[in-house]
Structure 1
């Protein structure tokens, strides 16, 4: 979850789209890391659909769902919601990287 603050606003006073995208990317990426058991992954693709505006002060919630996991790629979708309102939808592909060092 992410409690939105004034620093997250755009020029219209609503939650900035980049904040929504970053939140979706981080929550899906953390899920991919947990599912894979690997420490290092990279976002290969992230598709985002903005459904409704989020208001400053609202708490955003992301509930990622693993669609498929292979040895090298993990496919995940999520909805970013406020209560029962869908604010954004995102789907991403995450690549498991070889440990460096």
Structure 2
């Protein structure tokens, strides 16, 4: 995970759920493309950050994440990742996310996140 970062976050109020990663040779696989594990980890990290903030910074864990690879990226590409909460209950969040590069989709994901309430707080 230490190589999946630093994550850059948009400071725009309208785009507060957008994060970016500047890729390097450390992120590529043996054929020169950004490794799918990097893309998947990036999606999971951004989904968790957005859900964590929406849950008033309560601990969040990923129950399920389905990823679809739609394109590719190369070393040096800037990956933009956005996540949107589609539905939330008291204990679950349903989140969609996508990774793009230069207006091309690289991957998308849907996730179910579990809010783990801290002890002493309402569940």
Range into which the TM-score falls when normalised by the shorter chain: over 0.9
Instruction: Compute the TM-score of the two structures, normalised by the length of structure 2.
Output: 0.78
Name structure 1 gaps, 5 residues minimum.
none
TM-score by length of 1: 0.95
Instruction: Give SS of 2:31's match.
Output: coil
Q: Which runs of 5+ in 2 are unaligned?
A: 1-19
Q: Does 1:71 align with 2:90?
A: yes
Q: What are the residue-to-residue correspondences of 1:43-82 with 2, within 5 Å?
A: 43-82=62-101
CA RMSD of aligned residues (A): 1.3
SS at match of 1:13: coil
Q: Which runs of 4+ in 1 moved over 3 A?
A: none
Count of aligned positions: 101
Which digits, 9 at most, give the CA deviation of each residue in 1:50-75, with x for residues without a partner?
01111110000111011001100001
- Indicate if the aligned counterparts of 1:38 and 1:96 stay in contact, CA closer than 8 A: no
Q: 1:24 aligns with which of 43, 50, 71?
A: 43
